[in-house]
Amino acid sequence: MKLTTCKRCDMKNVYWTQNSSGKWQLMDERGNPHHCDDGKLKAVKCKYCPADDLHWAEDINPQTQVKKMVLTESYGLQHACDERITFLAKEKQEKKDKYESEKKRVAAHPDGICPSCNGGGYDTQKGLSAYTLCGTCHGQGSFSERTRKQMLADERRKIWPNMQEYSTFPRGRRW
């Protein structure tokens, strides 16, 4: 067992263990589950601005009852600095630009077999043992209206992995 320090309250000599259901739990040196004292919260710094009197607080969504940790100011409100907002806006715009360029590239390609992989769907430059998908056609092997939709769906999943999945098939039975 490797001893560590609790990141929330700075308590030393605690360690991680897995219980019978597979959930990881922080234990103290006597083998009891560790619980942070509410009065002893560790102050953290924002990585975007010079604010250093912050702490992590648990926020519970009233509808879904999902818990998430939120960076909070010492007076209780959620921390929102201009530097973080600017960083997130820039990151969001970069993702949009990347998707738009891929969308233009896929739309500009003529219908038919992919010239890079000769319709195989795998990168022929690395040989048969590599089994890496063709970067030009995303493993589809050819370009058509249907395969273009699939290529763009694959690209969306890469750029926005947590985005809700929409099926291109109509609802109901598929024979």
Pairing of β 15-18 and β 67-73: unpaired
Q: Whose CA is closest to 79, among 59, 101, 107? A: 59
Confidence (pTM): 0.57
Binning pLDDT at 50, 70 and 90, where does residue 92 land? very high
User: Is the separation of the CB atoms in 147 and 137 below 8 Å?
Assistant: yes
Interatomic CA distance for residues 104 and 114, integer angstroms: 16
User: Is the separation of the CB atoms in 4 and 14 below 8 Å?
Assistant: yes
pLDDT beyond 90 at 67: no
For the stretch 151-162, pLDDT in tens is 999 899 889 887
% pLDDT > 70, the chain: 85
